[in-house]
Chains A and B, each alone.
Chain A
Amino acid sequence: MIKGTCWVADDYVMAYDIIIQEYWTSPIDPVENSKWVMAGVKDEFNKENGFKDGGYTFIVAAHNFAGGGKSIEHVITGLIGAGIKAVFAISFARLQYRNAINYGLPFVTCDDISKGCDTGDELEYDPENGMIKNLTKGTSFQSIPAAPFVAEVGEAGGLMNYVREKIAKGEPIE
């Protein structure tokens, strides 16, 4: 069970606004990337730790979260470094959906949630059954639980750990 406050995004939060151009060539590192994460999304986040200092645990978004065609992992490590434990949206862009799975950051598909939350609401997410509760408003939303492979990678702490263990044990990857 994960509990914490949420930040509610407008529609179409783009990957290149989550990590703006001048940081594309930075090292992929949660601490480093989180300093300027979301800098292009809102003016108020365009300062050091601007988003991170909000102390949010969840992001609630609508369509095509992290879209616009950037494959850089800084987007995911930036969010992880800022303390984000899950992102709920109607849909996700595939490049970052994939990266999120590889880092074990739940990108959770949920149709109704974007209209049911305000920034600062306290949410509770149960990864086991996909239930999201808005404790502030007393409402709940059913999301699509993670596929078995995604859950397995998540439990391993990401694809690197998952594959590293398999290599160490000499197990086939299939």
Chain B
Amino acid sequence: MEMTITEKIMARNSGRDHVVPGQLVWTDVNSVMTMDYLGKQCFDKFRSLGKEEVFDKDRVICVSDHLVPPPNQKFATMLNEWREVVKQHDITHFYDLGRQGIAHQIMVEQGHVLPGTISIGTDSHANTYGAVGAVGNAIGVTDAAVAMATGKAWFRVPQSVKFHITGEWQPWVMAKDLSLHIMGMMHWNGHLIYKTLEFTGPAIKSLDMAGRMTLCNMTVDLGAKNGIIAPDTITKKYLDKVAKGSWDMIASDDDAHYDAVYEVDVTNLGPTVAMPDKLDDTVPVEKVIGIKFNKAFVGTCTNGRLEDLAVMAKIMKGKQIHRDVNMIVVPASQTVYLNALRAGYLETLIEAGAAVDTPSCAACAGIHTGVAGDGDIVLSAGNRNMKGRMGSKNAQIYLTSPSVVAASAITGVITDPRTFDV
């Protein structure tokens, strides 16, 4: 019986030769991730199961990302309690302030997720791990506590949907544009609830790891269980440097069953923008050119990577950000930060008038570092734009790619990077 990659991963990690959609299985997990604002509760719950030691100290990954650096005393105290509990359990991999990053970036860039395995995290964008051919799944504190104790999690094997992506990527068009395009095409939380989304085709083969992470990251916002891209030479090149553990190439069988197959040709795909409040209300950038905004934000687990900063630096080199725009750039991890610094990208962005802040989830979670106030119009390369997401309910958030944010920050109005004089 032929299987899709996600079915194969569920079978392999539950000690079965074969699984079918709808089947309920307990699987081994490769890594369990938790972070600062929920982590202590995971450990507390874990101990309430009657265990003292986690199933594997190398496989429980702890990250400080939502609350760092603490903007107030409440978060500072929460972080202290968090550090205490991580220390108490002698966790090997603790990415705390100074070595921090957004958890999903850390999980991939530090090699904690591997093709053919399942990793879970207590934050919804854990779907990002699909970029390397892993099943990445967001879970709650309860599932994390159970996995910390047992190394296992339960799953209902999802039905598979294929997105076959063909054509040539046009200049300045990014994986984010494809994500937003699919969001508009499928509609938010429509037909893809509980499904696994597999991305295949020549335009995926040519996509770098940063783009693959963006694409898989936003599958959670489509309502999907996970998004996945089978490992290939790009994956291997990336993982050779970082993988913590061995892995093998895994792919869907040729005759595997998909509930639905959708084709997208990126040759016709331009920069794309999601209108305020609704993620699935997306339009080609041409429809919104000239709209004024006063805040620009690039960062997050969706678009805070080196490749994103590189594109922005190319667009913004030698230019000045418009006087009516405040721009904040937050690299997704300390590694990204350092590499962007060494490559000169941050120098370019700072010279253009951008404020660069230390890696964290920043204003994406509406908690700190550039939150939105009443009347703000934000052009963001983040992942969510519902009312109040970045702070005030009286702010508007347009979501788009880093290249659109970069070009627009210079002009002060939403701008098509393809027509921008670089």
Contact = CB atoms under 8 A, between A and B. Distances in A.
Contacts of A102: 140, 142-143
Nearest to A166: B150
Contacts of A14: 386
B197 to A, nearest CB: 13
Interface in B197-251: 220-221, 223-225
B141 interface: yes
A27 B44 CA distance: 11
Contacts of A91: 193
Nearest to A69: B124
A48 B238 CA distance: 50
B140 A68 contact: no
B38 interface: yes
Nearest to B221: A69
Contacts of A40: 388
Contacts of B224: 94
Contacts of B123: 71
Interface residues of A, number: 41
A7 interface: no
Contacts of B48: 160, 164
A64 B140 contact: no
A73 B44 CA distance: 15
A172 to B, nearest CB: 9
26 contacts: A16-B386, A16-B389, A24-B37, A25-B67, A63-B189, A64-B189, A64-B223, A67-B188, A67-B189, A69-B223, A71-B139, A92-B193, A95-B140, A95-B220, A97-B194, A103-B142, A147-B24, A159-B154, A160-B142, A160-B145, A160-B146, A163-B146, A163-B149, A164-B49, A173-B26, A174-B14
Interface of B: 14-15, 24, 26, 37-38, 41, 45, 48-51, 66-67, 74-75, 78, 122-124, 138-143, 145-146, 149-150, 152, 154, 188-189, 193-194, 220-221, 223-225, 365-367, 384, 386, 388-389
